[in-house]
Chains A and B, each alone.
Chain A
Amino acid sequence: MAQPAFPVEDVLSFAMDLGKSMIRCGAEISRVEETVVRICRAYGMQQTDVFSIVSVIVATTRDPSGKETTQSRRIYSYATNFMQLEKLNALSRRVCADPADPATAREELDKINSDPVRLHPTACIGYILGASAFTVFFGGSWKDALAAAPIAVILWLIGSLVKVHGMSKLFVTALSSATAGFLALGFVRLGLADNASMIMIGDIMLIIPGLMLIHSVREMLCGDLMSGLLRLLESLILALAIACGFAIPILIFG
């Protein structure tokens, strides 16, 4: 029996870590499963079976000598980061076209993963622009849009702090929406803005898992039922946390 060029454990380990990084950047599950299979095949593995949901990847692969290896990875958090996702895709394509030593490929992967964290100062501008624009989009006035901007900065700060201290996503979401609610009502009370609910909707566009909801339905219709269900549940729970957070200032100041 032919021996593969590289140990099956190393190949699978690299493929799994690449898949994990992709999920952490917000890739679809089908893309992740495809990537793991393609990489294993590129290294000459005979058969690869992979199952993935948003929090776990499990894969078994068999090398030409018939030796089987199973590995799993656990994913704890994910956020959309297209720049990194694009780099990971490029790396995967490069490795599939020319299967280099897994150790070298892993160095490249580590380099991509060591890129600066997600909450970059440009993201702050994104928060302000997104919140103000969507305040107007949902029917707010220009004053409301101006009021939404400082709230967006505070949401960005809360988000940054979480990345450092690793607090529960659910708690932080509720905290963010409660803070935004208090500030929005405060601005209206001070006469600096016209409509608190428009400011709130503009600002919650930043934290509401709307895109996650669409992705979940999409994954379920594509056949990734488990992953889609988990995403659907998560987006509903996050929306509930946001509603609870906003309920506090509304019930107090109504």
Chain B
Amino acid sequence: MELKQALILILAGAAGTCGFSLLFRLRKKLIPCAVIGAVLTLVVYVICLRFLHHAFFQNLFPALFGALYAEIAAKVTKSPATQYLACAIIPLVPGGGLYYTMYHFVTGDMASFHTQLTQTARTAAGLAVGIILISVLVHQWRYRSLKTIFEEE
């Protein structure tokens, strides 16, 4: 991917995240922090696109980074990590893939349907696994305390 293309991707992704943060009714003070997270995640994504060739890994590493950023930003600004996470992940969300999958299904192009479905599933799995790895690592103490809460007599 050319540098110019990559820059357009990152800038457009940042603007889009800005729009979605308004849509999600994110508190105005937190928007800059959320957009910075999306930009950095996109940088990681562009690098992964260049060097990795499997959709799962292309999305796993940006998701790892985005989730880690969200946890740190949440600690710094003392607000829930979910908001930063959603904003960082939004540009990577397989909206186009999901659409093409269903589109090919409706038009009856089963070969393309299958390709798109696999690609979308890999992307979603990569993002989800990345997010979970971080939340398990970061919140180990929290899950432990949760378990005691639920099972304590």
Contact residues of A with B, CB < 8 Å? 27-28, 30, 34, 37-38, 41, 47, 80-86, 89, 118, 120, 122-123, 125-134, 136-138, 200-201, 204-206, 208-211, 213-214, 217-218, 221-222, 235-236, 239-240, 242-244, 246-247
Contact = CB atoms under 8 A, between A and B. Distances in A.
Contacts of B15: 129, 132-133, 136
A211 B25 contact: no
A184 to B, nearest CB: 13
Contact of B98 (A120, A210, A244): A210
B125 interface: yes
Interface in B37-69: none
B102 A126 contact: no
11 contacts: A37-B149, A80-B86, A85-B82, A128-B19, A137-B13, A205-B96, A213-B93, A213-B98, A214-B127, A236-B102, A247-B107
A130 B93 contact: no
Given A85-B80, A126-B20, 14 more contacts: A86-B79, A123-B22, A126-B19, A130-B19, A134-B16, A137-B13, A138-B96, A201-B96, A210-B98, A218-B131, A222-B132, A235-B98, A243-B105, A244-B102
B27 interface: yes
Contact of B94 (A37, A129, A132, A213): A213
A47 to B, nearest CB: 7
Given A239-B98, A239-B102, A82 B27 contact: yes
Contacts of A80: 23-25, 86
B95 A205 contact: yes
Interface of B: 8-9, 12-16, 18-27, 79-80, 82-83, 86, 89-91, 93-96, 98-99, 101-103, 105-107, 124-125, 127-129, 131-132, 146, 149-150, 153
A132 B79 CA distance: 29
Contacts of A136: 8, 12, 15
B72 to A, nearest CB: 18
B16 A34 contact: no
Contact of A130 (B8, B16, B26, B82): B16
A27 B85 CA distance: 13
B93 A214 contact: yes
A84 B99 contact: no
A123 B23 contact: yes
A80 B85 CA distance: 13
Contacts of B22: 122-123, 125-126, 129
Given A47-B153, A218-B132, A243 B99 contact: yes
Contacts of A201: 95-96, 99
Contacts of A236: 102
Contacts of A217: 124-125, 127-128
A207 to B, nearest CB: 9
A134 to B, nearest CB: 5
A-B CB proximity, top 5 nearest: A126-B22, A129-B19, A130-B19, A243-B102, A210-B93
B23 A126 contact: yes
Contact of A131 (B9, B19, B106, B153): B19
Contacts of A122: 22, 25
Most buried by B among A30, A37, A38, A214: A214
Specify which of B18, B25, B91, B127 lies most central, judged by the most chain A CB atoms within 10 Å of its CB. B25
A137 B93 contact: no
B19 A82 contact: no
B99 A28 contact: no
